[in-house]
Amino acid sequence: MNKPSASVASVDAEVWPEGSLEVLSQVEVDQLRSTGEQGLYPLLRRCMLAVLNSGSNVDDTRAVLETYAGFDVAFLQMDRGLKVSLKDAPPHAFVDGKMIRGIRELLFAVLRDIVFTHNEIIGDARFDLDSVSGTSNAVFHIVRNARLQTLPASVNLVVCWGGHAIGRAEYDYTKLVGYELGLRGLNVCTGCGPGAMKGPMKGATIGHAKQRIRDGRYIGITEPGIIAAESPNPIVNSLVIMPDMEKRLEAFVRVGHGVIVFPGGVGTAEEILYLLGVLLHPDNAEQPMPMIMTGPAEAEPYFRQIDEFVGATLGAEAQKRYKIIIDDPVAVAQAMSESLHDVREYRRQLGDAYYFNWRLTIDREFQRPFTATHETVAGLDIRVDLPTHELAANLRRVFSSIVSGNVREDTAAAIDQHGPFEINGSGEIMRLLDNLLRAFVEQKRMKIAAVDYAPCYRIK
């Protein structure tokens, strides 16, 4: 039951859980309320505000937090279970005084994942987060707790990557591809935000409706550092909050069966380098993981530049791991659907799970959390003579640091104080990187309001 105020600018409300975590212990409630070192309140407030701000076109975290500076969350332990009290919440989360049901579900998905990760994963001896197997096991338990693994499982989940700051033509194209995926009974998983993360889901809903598919899955996977800048779009019906970017990326490739990449910016480049770096591991040579890069005709130069960068840094073997299909949504969906037959057969023969790719080998360098600071970015080793997987890991960190500088308020504050990050490396790689980043800026792919974009980095 909601009890909103009459305020136009913001809303006060009380809500009961929807779909998960209806009951908490008193210790857990105390953790939610605490602002201390072990308290969860600051993290929960940030993530819950992001969910309530769904549909916003603002991707500046500091601006969101300033706009709703008075937003407050209180947790009430009632005889009937947990109730959440909201003060000065974004009004577009409500219709006629009642919170939109989908937003209420996502609100408590945040609560579920943060409580579970804090109490069941971090510090638990079962999950050695300094080891490959321990990290993968933690990722599995988080997505299982979020009920992503439904049985009987099918090989039909397509991960869609792409930018949140894309133009109308590219956004419409993502909807067309999603529609074709939906017609073929395929489900969609994205980073949960707007732009190329929302478009495929929106298109898939129509395809599913035409095929009378009533249990379509629109999965969003995010993490606390970027959620405020990329609020979950309203179509997401399964939201998962991973503890950091590296576990988020691992969740994508563990639960997904194939990947479609739409035009994007530095975040999309980070995802591409992550997946290619993982697939280049010798143990994954036979691992089928279809990857298709696609966009409308005007996006062809973008993908050619990405392809050139990959070829010059990771080599021809990396280029063999993906296809580029331009301006043909039907061909993209057909190619993906056909490739998923190979994925299904591979896993069937090896007895691997359809719902979690345990056999995919992920090197520790792709799991280790990377915090972008002036020191860590300047210290990245980017040389042409590095082993390919190590170069891919460090290039991924370069793009991750720029994402952090663009959307995280703490990183942006550090850049305001100390100046842009300085990125060093081999001359040829720096030239290619500079050209790629300049193109992102010119094409307004860095932020939604990119007219006055000031780079948070400097190429040396």
pLDDT for res 451:
60
| pLDDT-based confidence at residue 37 (cuts at 50, 70, 90) | low
Counting residues of the chain whose pLDDT is more than 70, the rounded percentage is 93
pLDDT mean over 81-93? 87
Task: In whole angstroms, give the CA distance from residue 181 to residue 175.
Answer: 10
CB 113 within 8 A of CB 142: yes
Question: What is the pLDDT of the chain when averaged over all its residues?
Answer: 90
Q: How far is CA 194 from CA 201, 228, 235, 416, 437, in A?
A: 10, 12, 10, 27, 21
**What interhelical angle do 101-116 and 26-33 show, nearest 10?**
100
13 phi and psi angles, rounded to 5 deg: -155, 160
pLDDT at 388 over 50: yes
pLDDT for res 1:
41
| pLDDT-based confidence at residue 315 (cuts at 50, 70, 90) | very high
- Mind listing the pLDDT tens digit for each residue in 196-244? 999 999 999 999 999 999 999 999 999 998 887 788 988 999 999 999 9
Lowest pLDDT segment from 195-204, 305-314, 341-350, 443-452: 443-452
pLDDT mean over 316-342? 97
At 370, list the tokens. 């990377």
pLDDT at 386 over 50: yes
At 423, list the tokens. 């990125």
pLDDT for res 32:
78
| pLDDT-based confidence at residue 246 (cuts at 50, 70, 90) | very high
pLDDT mean over 17-40? 70
pLDDT for res 6:
39
pLDDT mean over 180-186? 98
pLDDT for res 8:
42
pLDDT for res 238:
94
Between these two residues, 123 and 69, which has the higher pLDDT value? 69
pLDDT at 42 over 90: no
pLDDT for res 160:
98
pLDDT at 261 over 70: yes
Q: Long-range contacts made by residues 60-64, C-beta under 8 angstroms, separation at least 24?
A: 60/229, 60/407, 60/447, 60/449, 61/228, 61/229, 61/407, 61/408, 61/409, 61/412, 62/409, 62/412, 62/413, 64/228, 64/229
Ordered structural domains, the chain, with CATH:
11-111 (3.30.1850.10), 148-460 (3.40.50.450)
pLDDT for res 5:
40
pLDDT mean over 302-320? 94
pLDDT for res 80:
63
pLDDT for res 3:
42
pLDDT for res 146:
93
pLDDT for res 217:
96
pLDDT for res 7:
41
pLDDT for res 9:
65
pLDDT at 2 over 50: no
Lowest pLDDT segment from 49-58, 244-253, 268-277, 414-423: 49-58
pLDDT for res 4:
40
Between these two residues, 443 and 35, which has the higher pLDDT value? 443
| pLDDT-based confidence at residue 65 (cuts at 50, 70, 90) | confident
pLDDT for res 459:
93
- Mind listing the pLDDT tens digit for each residue in 90-141? 998 999 888 998 999 999 899 899 989 998 999 888 899 999 999 999 999 9
- Mind listing the pLDDT tens digit for each residue in 404-441? 998 888 899 999 999 999 999 999 999 999 999 998 88
Q: Over the chain, what HEC string results? A: CCCCCCCCCCEEEEECCCCCCCCCCHHHHHHHHCCCCCCCHHHHHHHHHHHHCCCCCCCCHHHHHHHCCCCEEEEEEECCEEEEEEEEECHHHEECCEECHHHHHHHHHHHHHHHHHHHHHCCCCCCCCCCHHHHHHHHHHHHHHCCCCCCCCCCCEEEEECCCCCCHHHHHHHHHHHHHHHHCCCEEEECCCCHHHCHHHHHHHHHHHHCCCCCCCEEEEECCCCCCCCCCCCCCCEEEECCCHHHHHHHHHHHCCEEEECCCCHHHHHHHHHHHHHHCCHHHCCCCCCEEEEECHHHHHHHHHHHHHHHHHCCHHHHCCCEEEECCHHHHHHHHHHHHHHHHHHHHHHCCCCCCCCCCCCCHHHCCCCCCCHHHHHCCCCCCCCCHHHHHHHHHHHHHHHHHHHHCHHHHHHHHHHCCEEECCCHHHHHHHHHHHHHHHHCCCCCCCCCCCCCCEEEC
At 315, list the tokens. 């080599």
